[in-house]
Amino acid sequence: MTKKGKEELDLTTEQKIKEAAIRVFTKKGYGNARTRDIAEEAGINLALLNYYFRSKEKLFDIVMAERIEKLFGVLAPVLFDATTSLEEKLDRIVENYITMLIEHPELPIFVLSEMRSNPGDMANRLQARKLLTDSIFIKQLADKRKDINPVHFLMNILGMTLFPFIGKPVLETLLGGGDEAYMAMMEERKKLIPRWVKLMLNES
């Protein structure tokens, strides 16, 4: 096998292990997941998993860091953008989040399950305090509405954006049109959520 072929095989195997780890960690949580479970889910032997990642802790840290980057990486650039207004930021946050979650629908459940299990560690990973104290978004919000708690404001946006992906199986049943109807609703929400949030922002 050529060096390039081996590198491609390594990347394929590594990605397969990480995807299997996400499924197992999401289902069982970090504490109850075993490396053997992940190896079986990935369709490989335990020795090969240990060759790539050495330990469950290392695998979890890598997977979690990548998932957090996907889930919250779309947020920070918008919040710290000095060239856009508060209203434009609202549009971009919702657009970016829903687009990303359509591509990675497993992310909310995986990350939220760990938020419940390890809230202190998760807060450090997210650098949540920095977002709330240093971002231009929060400064713009304070300039417009000093009476609005920024934590409430962000929770409203993220809750309306994330919940439909957490509750996807129930929503698909309620809509009655399967995945196609669900996706159409998510596209509608890209426009509706910013509109609702702006109404809250501009109420007297």
Q: Where are the beta strands (DSSP E) in 45-140?
A: none
CA distance 32 to 12: 26
Q: CB within 8 A of 3, min separation 6: which ones?
A: none
Contact 107, 101 (CB under 8 A): yes
Q: Which amino acid is at 22?
A: I
For residue 135, the tally of other CB atoms under 10 A from its CB is: 20
Contact 157, 98 (CB under 8 A): no
- Residue 117 confidence (pLDDT): 67
- Residue 121 confidence (pLDDT): 66
- Residue 195 confidence (pLDDT): 96
- Residue 120 confidence (pLDDT): 64
- Residue 156 confidence (pLDDT): 92
pLDDT < 70 positions in the chain: 1-11, 116-132, 204
Handedness of CA 200, 159, 188, 83 (dihedral sign): positive
Token output for 45: 């032997």
Angle at 73 between CA 110 and CA 18, to 5 degrees: 40
Token output for 25: 């960690």
Domains and CATH numbers, the chain: 10-54 (1.10.10.60), 64-201 (1.10.357)
Per-residue pLDDT tens over the stretch 85-136: 999 999 999 999 999 899 888 788 877 777 766 666 666 666 666 666 789 9
* Predicted structure pTM score: 0.75
CA distance 110 to 194: 25
